[in-house]
Chains A and B, each alone.
Chain A
Amino acid sequence: MGWLMPKRSASRAKERLQLVLIHDRTDITPAELDALRSQRLVADIPLRSVTRRRAE
């Protein structure tokens, strides 16, 4: 019956954070990321990468 239930807020929070942390860590704006996605240049960005580079 799970498919009848709306998605609970914790999974929404995690999805939003995954996206926002990618932006923060790479200094790519959401719009730029969408543009890259639309060109199929971004398939997946691992969140637990060994080296976490970000703009200072």
Chain B
Amino acid sequence: VAAGGNGVNMSAQVITLSSGKGGVGKTTAVANIAVALAAEGAKVVCLDGDIGLRTLDVVMGLENRIVYDLVDVIEGRCKLRQAMIRDKHFPELHLIPAAQTRDKNAVSPSDMVRVCKELRPNHDFVLIDSPAGIERGFRNAIAPADRVIVVTNPEVSAVRDADRVIGILEAEEKGKPALIINRLNPGLVKQHDMLSAEDVIDLLGITLIGVVPEDETVIVSSNRGTPVAQDPRSRAGQAFRNIAKRILGQDVPFLDVDKQAGIWDRLQKMTGRR
């Protein structure tokens, strides 16, 4: 998909980020990948799929600008355009927030397909932040997806839930998702007290699209409502920018997060990127 389309014959790619387990960094990943794609010139809309537990707006620093939300669009109280909040830094990046106090059943998979159909002609990417779990909200989030990215942490519980989600996606014929391993601690991996990226890939058997190192700048950025992808010095930010480039089809080498080139050379061979 070419970024920075001129509005002629555009059709957005709909990408859903999911994980099964909560708290692995899905929302952070959506916000950062969206910012990084927008910085590359892509027209991007983020859609918060977690009805009742709105989070993406605060991570993007847009909470004060919300007037309408996704449920308002679906129930016809506003036009889609009215619910789209423009980002502070990137005019071609928008957020459609989740409703905060509504019934989760207010949104159906067909509603999500309809909203995305309306968004496709004018954008390059629609990024959907799936809620945790494998119930209604998750089904809504994957319904319009052209591509799903599973986010996990190198921990037993997160990897197990990621595997469950991968199984459901295959059963739903959504194809094999790509994998983001988030919050990898290189020091712990080095002392063999954390699953390595290779271990996680080996267990889940899907293609890696990014490894994001554990990085305090993510917390600081989240406090400020400025995604870390905008910080040129942040290693996590660099990892998210690389993921965005890979989504755009660029061949970007994986970060040497633990400064041991041998491991990453092998990793890149495993994932077919070398």
Chain A residues proximal to chain B, CB less than 8 Å: 8-11, 13-14, 16-18, 20-21, 24-25, 47-48, 52, 54, 56
Contact = CB atoms under 8 A, between A and B. Distances in A.
B166 A52 contact: yes
- Give chain B's interface residue range (CB within 8 Å of chain A): 20 to 34
Interface string B171-197: 100000000000000001101111110
A9 B167 contact: no
Given A52-B205, A56-B168, A20 B160 contact: yes
A14 to B, nearest CB: 5
Contacts of A9: 192-194
Contact of B205 (A8, A10, A16, A47): A47
A17 B156 contact: yes
A10 B65 CA distance: 44
Contact of A10 (B164, B170, B171, B199): B199
Contacts of A21: 160, 163, 203
Interface of B: 155-156, 159-160, 163-164, 166-168, 170-171, 188-189, 191-196, 199, 202-203, 205
Contacts of A18: 203
Given A16-B156, A56-B168, 14 more contacts: A8-B192, A9-B193, A10-B188, A10-B196, A11-B192, A13-B195, A14-B203, A20-B156, A20-B160, A21-B163, A21-B203, A25-B163, A25-B167, A47-B202
A49 to B, nearest CB: 8
A47 to B, nearest CB: 7
B159 A17 contact: yes
Contacts of B194: 9-10
15 contacts: A8-B193, A10-B188, A10-B189, A10-B192, A10-B196, A11-B192, A13-B195, A24-B160, A25-B163, A25-B167, A47-B205, A48-B202, A52-B166, A52-B205, A54-B171
A43 to B, nearest CB: 20
Contacts of B188: 10
Residue among A13, A16, A25 with most chain B CB within 10 A: A13
A47 B166 contact: no
Residue among A8, A21, A56 with most chain B CB within 10 A: A21
A48 B206 CA distance: 9
B163 A24 contact: yes
